[in-house]
Structure 1
Amino acid sequence: MVETNSDKILSDAGEGDVALLVVGDPFGATTHTDILLRARDLDIPTHIVHNASIMSAIGASGLQLYNFGQAVSIPFWTEKWKPDSWLEKILENARIGLHTLVLLDIKVKEQSEENLARGRKIFEPPRYMSPAVALEQILEAVSNSPLVSQTKGFESQQSYHKGPPKVLSPSHTLALTLSRVGTPHQGIKAGTLSDLEKLCEEDFGPPLHSLVIVGSRLHPVEVRYAGKWAIEGGSWERVAREVYGVIDE
């Protein structure tokens, strides 16, 4: 309704109180900002009640919020549609050493092309992108993108505040996956992109999921905190030390 029939929300709000409940914070999506702007144009008074959001709850990973750059969203690919515009933003963050929060696609109340064309209100089962699918798409996009050269990884330096990384090398780029953040069954895994890619969907458990690409401004405290979730046999601490150049304080 928010996407396709928001005028109904605003028309009712002109006659009485209307509450729009949002999963996450109301300002986590531009759609909600648009509704507020149109309410303002219609002289409809509004009141915002802020809420917890993955945009701040990602701090559960141990990575500091002020070290994050632009967040990106990765949609499900199809055989004919493989958008990768999000990769450019990940690379922009990487060039200045910032972490990237990657939001994974959620498909709820979606119609097939046939049902949509025929006007049939039949909806597909809900789908939630897993980290396994996201990692597969990220690595395919990296390998095919003209923006990325696979010739070298991060420049190793002698302190944690380093020059920008040159590419997203799967074996030299650290990442974390976060599942069901804020619930009693929260799960976090840390390793290189290559380490995490070796896991299967069952290793991450049920949704909801998100992912973080770690930037080169990685601090020793971040390494130590997130190291609690390092994959057994993985390269979290070694890559943090040898590639990112993090020296423990």
Structure 2
Amino acid sequence: MSAPAAAPAPHPGAAPVLDRLRAQTTFELASIFRNGEQIMVTILMPLVALVALAATDVVDLGRADGARVDLVAPGVLAMAVMAAALTSQAIATSFDRRGGVLRLLATTPLGRVGLLGGKICAVLVLQVVQAVVLGGVAIALGWRPEPGDVIVALGIGVLGTAVFTALAMLMAGTLRFEAVLALANLLLIGLTLVGGVLVPTDWLPGVGADIVRLLPSGALGEALRGAFGDGVAWRDVVALLGWAGLLTWATSRTFRWS
């Protein structure tokens, strides 16, 4: 009789970085798409805002030039970025932290960079779904973006995603779950209404417009409106880059796994 085949030897070390990142991204996506509340926040709420603001004139958006949907659509896309990267990820990560999931991940080679990278990649996939749904409805309402503008907007969206995902991780890694749940929703509502997301920053008087435009929400909203309009202002790109660096650094210094 022939000798039984030897059992395969275990892999001598951690999986490659890309495999770890892909596995974490898949895990994050599964968590998002099986949660009805996250679908409501990330897709249904921006969709309702798009239809309500583009099809009616109940809310004064401050600018009369051009079709109303041309001003509404970029702002709703900015809202969608915030909903996916900030609110959704802050609550999901805080829930995992409270349940001990993050403590288990801390014992693996994934690390903080891998965790943040997986979440950013998952959010980017979710935003592709958001862009297809919201963009399709906006086009049905009369929006006609140029292909070149879409490419610029994609770059701005990725940068905004990095900013708000880092902010979500900062909140989820330092605050109690109850505080994250309340703060994440309040930030989404507050920044959407008065943070330069749906309504342009120039509706504020005096220095108020400049202050709001320095916020990550204001910079993202104005940058996306610029991408589909007269061009992106460098001040908005610099503001987003600065927030991305600052929040990522703060998260790396303060994030607690349990």
TM-score range, shorter chain: under 0.3
TM-score of the superposition, structure 2-length normalised? 0.27
**Higher fraction of helix:** 2
Structure number with higher relative contact order (C-alpha < 8 Å, ≥ 6 residues apart): 2
